[in-house]
A and B are shown apart, each in its own frame.
Chain A
Amino acid sequence: MARMTAKTVAQETSFYAAVVFFFVLAAFPFYWMLITSFKTNGDLYNVTHIPFWFNDPPTLEHFQYLFEKTLFTTWLLNSLIIGVVVTIITLLTALPAAYSLARMTGRNGEALGIGIFLTYLVPPTLLFLPLSRVIAMLGLQNSMWSLVLVYPTFTIPFCTWLLMGFFKSMPREIEEAAIVDGCSLFGAFIKMAIPLSVPGILTVVIFTFTLTLQEFVYALTFVSASAQKPITLGVATDLIRGDVFYWGEIMAGALIASIPVAIAYNLFLDRFISGITGGAVK
């Protein structure tokens, strides 16, 4: 057992103090979200009450209100539909594209892959202007389907990049063996590459979903009808009557909407990192 010198004690304490600092820094707003959702309005809007804990007993009234008196469930449904359809579109487009770029082209493939990825960096706050005209021309204004159309513009580049890294690390031998054994190139893709890339596909599904859930700018720009809003936009902008913010409900809604995304990120963090840094971290 190491001797505890004064220096070690001081070091350990400052280490743990720092950890606590970061923990609180990251977590506090969420704690705040959590506790606000369960506090009665009387408790919330009283400056003499201690904000950090319940002064009056906790209540489920905000959640009730959220589900019964607002369009919250509609927003959840909208986000679900958008998520599913966009994920399907993304998979159908990005899987073959990533495979082709990883396997079938040489130097050009590399350049094209980077080019596709760079489109991910084109800011929505630049494209939203012309896109809003395009959406209007297509008659999709104010509909959540405008988002289904536009979201793949960033999910496809990102997921193509992710999958490219994935396919590159898959040994070619298996596909080549399949080709020698009688598959066409296309057959090798379907029978070998796809089944063996299920982890990658899973990652794409999770990230596409979270990317669509997170998105705010396009949703704000294209959708103003309350019933068409996706969850993030709805909670952030629609729980206001006149000038009054319904903080209890807002926090409750934010809490519910945040949980799936937070869980997904935690489970898939490592994959995400290797996806982004594919080239830099050798």
Chain B
Amino acid sequence: MVAIADSVPKPVSRFRFILDRRDVLGALFVAPAILYVLLLVGVPFLMAVYYSLSAYTIYDPSWSFVGLSNFADILEDPTFQRTLWNTFIFTFGSQLLGLVLGKFGALLLLRPFPGRKLVRAVIILPWAVPVALATVAWQWMFDSLYSVINWTMIALGLIDRANAPNWLGNPDLAMLSIIVVNGWRFFPFAIVIFLAGITAVPQDVIDAATVDGAGFWRRNYQIILPMILPIMTIGLVFGIVFTFTDLSIVFLMTNGGPVGATSVLGFAGFQTGIVSGDVSHGAAISLFMLPVLLVIVVVMLRFIRRREI
């Protein structure tokens, strides 16, 4: 065995090889994105927390620390309590509506039929089109004088003009209206999520179940549903997060009215913090969304982890 003498390693220019250094390059590549997010999400987030703990308004931008008194204030305010309650109802109602419609819609779209592509393209529209524009269309559909819904019901003889429902002017109907609009917005997303999940279930499993004697309902609820639970949960997380924090629909359709009947957290935060300029209370209201969101997200992510197939 011949012993090979060590040669002197070639002198290496440090700069020349910096573009090869995995660690340096890796950090450099992520830096802009992380910086952007830190500066424009992280810092404002901390600022929001700070505002909620101070007595800051745009008329008196003092940074004095007031502890949790802002939170105490809003918690005692019956309008806020109503808002909180509304937000839950709004979220729960529209998600439920969306899910139910979504599940059935997905089942329908599973089966090939003539014109399926067109139907699919149209069914996506409520979710694809910008919120504000679709909401405005519904606003017009619910108009107190010219509502097409009322016109139809009158024409069908179900009601008469004097008793025509004032969709956006009656507190309960207003809540119903915004739930319907949000559910309508959400159901195509639910359909897409369900479709993706169902088509990901291997055909072998479904066939095995059929051979084992499972009928339509059993197949659906005992075999398929558990297998699509993870993806359904992700869809639900998205839906809940975006609904719970939404302000567009309420702002455009009812402006929180009548008399706060449809005020939700996002909207109230806007009203108080931006329109009225009471930044500290506005921040407190907005921050209220967080604990609920965190709990939901964590619970659901953990749920998925455990059920990972």
Q: Which residues of A contact B (CB under 8 A)?
A: 15-16, 18-19, 22-23, 25-27, 29-30, 32-33, 36, 44-45, 47, 51-52, 92-94, 96-97, 99-101, 104-105, 112, 116, 118-119, 121-134, 149-150, 152-153, 156-157, 160, 184-187, 210, 213-214, 216-217, 220-221, 232-233, 235-236, 245, 247, 250-251, 254, 257-258, 261-262, 265-266, 269, 273, 276-277, 280-282
- A232 CB, min distance to chain B CBs, angstroms: 5
A-B contact pairs, 19 of them (CB 8 A): A26-B126, A29-B134, A29-B138, A96-B30, A97-B33, A104-B29, A112-B30, A118-B297, A121-B293, A123-B245, A153-B36, A185-B20, A185-B22, A221-B270, A235-B133, A251-B137, A258-B129, A262-B125, A269-B124
User: How far is A150 from B128 in the complex, measured between Cα atoms in Å?
Assistant: 22
Q: Is the CB of A131 within 8 A of B40?
A: yes
B104 to chain A: which residues have CB within 8 Å? Answer: 18, 22
Which of B28, B108, B141, B193 lies in contact with A22, CB distance below 8 A? B108
20 more A-B contacts (CB under 8 A) besides A30-B129, A93-B32, A123-B245? A15-B111, A23-B122, A100-B29, A121-B293, A123-B244, A126-B48, A126-B286, A131-B40, A134-B40, A150-B40, A156-B36, A185-B22, A210-B128, A214-B130, A216-B248, A217-B266, A250-B136, A258-B134, A266-B121, A269-B192
A187 to chain B: which residues have CB within 8 Å? Answer: 19
Q: Is the CB of A32 within 8 A of B137?
A: yes
Which of B40, B111, B196, B230 lies in contact with A149, CB distance below 8 A? B40
User: How far is A221 from B241 in the complex, measured between Cα atoms in Å?
Assistant: 20
Which of B19, B47, B246 lies in contact with A125, CB distance below 8 A? B246
A261 to chain B: which residues have CB within 8 Å? Answer: 128-130
B287 to chain A: which residues have CB within 8 Å? Answer: 126
Which 10 residue pairs spanning A and B have beta carbons closest together? A123-B245, A104-B26, A100-B29, A125-B266, A130-B47, A97-B33, A265-B128, A96-B29, A130-B44, A184-B19
Is B256 an interface residue, CB under 8 A from the partner? no
Q: Is the CB of A129 within 8 A of B36?
A: no
Which of A23, A133, A250, A281 lies in contact with B200, CB distance below 8 A? A281
Which of B37, B122, B130 lies in contact with A156, CB distance below 8 A? B37
Q: Is the CB of A132 within 8 A of B241?
A: no
- A207 CB, min distance to chain B CBs, angstroms: 11
Task: Answer whether A130 and B51 are a contact pair too, CB < 8 Å, given A32-B148, A92-B32, A94-B33.
Answer: yes
Is B135 an interface residue, CB under 8 A from the partner? yes
B279 to chain A: which residues have CB within 8 Å? Answer: 129, 133
Task: Answer whether A277 and B196 are a contact pair too, CB < 8 Å, given A19-B119, A22-B105, A153-B36.
Answer: yes
User: How far is A273 from B120 in the complex, measured between Cα atoms in Å?
Assistant: 14
Is B151 an interface residue, CB under 8 A from the partner? yes
Closest residue of A by beta carbon distance from B237: A121
Most buried by A among B43, B125, B193: B125
Which of B131, B140, B238 lies in contact with A216, CB distance below 8 A? B131
B123 to chain A: which residues have CB within 8 Å? Answer: 22-23, 26
Q: Is the CB of A105 within 8 A of B44?
A: no
User: How far is A122 from B304 in the complex, measured between Cα atoms in Å?
Assistant: 21
A265 to chain B: which residues have CB within 8 Å? Answer: 124, 127-128
A153 to chain B: which residues have CB within 8 Å? Answer: 36-37, 40-41
Q: Which residues of B contact A (CB under 8 A)?
A: 17, 19-23, 25-30, 32-34, 36-37, 40-41, 43-45, 47-48, 51, 101, 104-105, 108, 111, 113, 119, 121-138, 140-141, 143, 145-146, 148, 151, 161, 184, 188, 192-193, 196-197, 200, 230-231, 234, 238, 241, 244-248, 251-252, 265-266, 269-270, 273-274, 279, 282-283, 286-287, 289-290, 293, 297, 304, 309
Task: Answer whether A281 and B197 are a contact pair too, CB < 8 Å, given A19-B119, A126-B48, A217-B248.
Answer: yes
User: How far is A276 from B129 in the complex, measured between Cα atoms in Å?
Assistant: 18
A130 to chain B: which residues have CB within 8 Å? Answer: 43-45, 47-48, 51, 283
- A278 CB, min distance to chain B CBs, angstroms: 10
User: How far is A153 from B43 in the complex, measured between Cα atoms in Å?
Assistant: 12
A121 to chain B: which residues have CB within 8 Å? Answer: 241, 293, 297
- B278 CB, min distance to chain A CBs, angstroms: 10
User: How far is A232 from B132 in the complex, measured between Cα atoms in Å?
Assistant: 7
A184 to chain B: which residues have CB within 8 Å? Answer: 17, 19-20
Closest residue of B by beta carbon distance from A154: B41
Closest residue of A by beta carbon distance from B273: A129
Closest residue of B by beta carbon distance from A247: B140
